[in-house]
Amino acid sequence: MELEQMKVGFMDVFCYLVACPKTKEALVIDPAGDEERVVDRIKQKGLNLKYIVNTHGHPDHTCGNAKVKELTDARIVMHELDDKMYNSEEGQLMARQWGFAISPPADQFIGDGDLITVGEVSLEVIHTPGHSPGGTCLLVDGNLFTGDTLFVGAIGRTDLPGASLSQFMNSIKGRLMTLPGETIVWPGHDYGPRPSSTIEIEAKTNPVLI
């Protein structure tokens, strides 16, 4: 598996490229700004982008969907609950109020336990509601892409529509903290002292979890 972390946009979102080195099929996780730079990097690496995967539907993570889809013809993939919420009139109003481009509807829905496959690389979908109803994390080869569920030293906010603190803590403690300690955490924003962490480190040092 090839993995590259890129910081994009004005909210320090981490976008990720995941590719199969054998087939050159790839997906991008949360392209949330600097879309032409992201697509240029995909082309530089000689990749065939199949999917645009959103960990959740908040506009700071989906604002690049339309442009990347236009430039690559990749399919947008998201949990149905967030696609429905953020393609509603209220969801689109939130995007405009935050100053973000509106994402087209998802081309494909994902749910807990599903696999997203590019070449010989398969990412397992873990549904982690709490930050948003359709929030998901993605697990592949000991790497966990956590979106706004788990940051380095923090967790996502729970004061937005559809959020639930109790549901969120159940998702984090019941689904993520039970993974092997060496699992690498790749967060959705550059909010911590390091760009990545591990489940063991977060279990021992994250002030929200100890």
Is pLDDT above 90 for 26? yes
Residue 148: pLDDT band with limits 50, 70, 90: very high
**pLDDT higher than 90, residue 62:** yes
Amino acid 93: pLDDT: 85
Type and span of the H or E element at 94: helix 89-98
- What pLDDT was estimated at residue 52? 98
| pLDDT score for 7 | 97
Report pLDDT for 192.
95
Q: What's the pLDDT at 90?
A: 83
- For each of the domains in the chain, give its residue range(s) and CATH number, in order of start: 2-205 (3.60.15.10)
Regarding pTM above 0.95, the answer is yes
Please tell me the distance from the alpha carbon of residue 171 to that of residue 132, in angstroms, as a whole number.
11
The pLDDT, as a whole number, for residue 89 is 85
Q: pLDDT at position 27, please? A: 98
Name the percent of the chain lying above pLDDT 90. 91
Query: Average pLDDT, stretch 186-208?
Result: 97
Is the per-residue pLDDT at 109 higher than 90? yes
The count of residues in the chain is 210
Element at 60 (helix H, strand E): helix 59-62
- Whether 87 has a pLDDT exceeding 90, the answer reads no
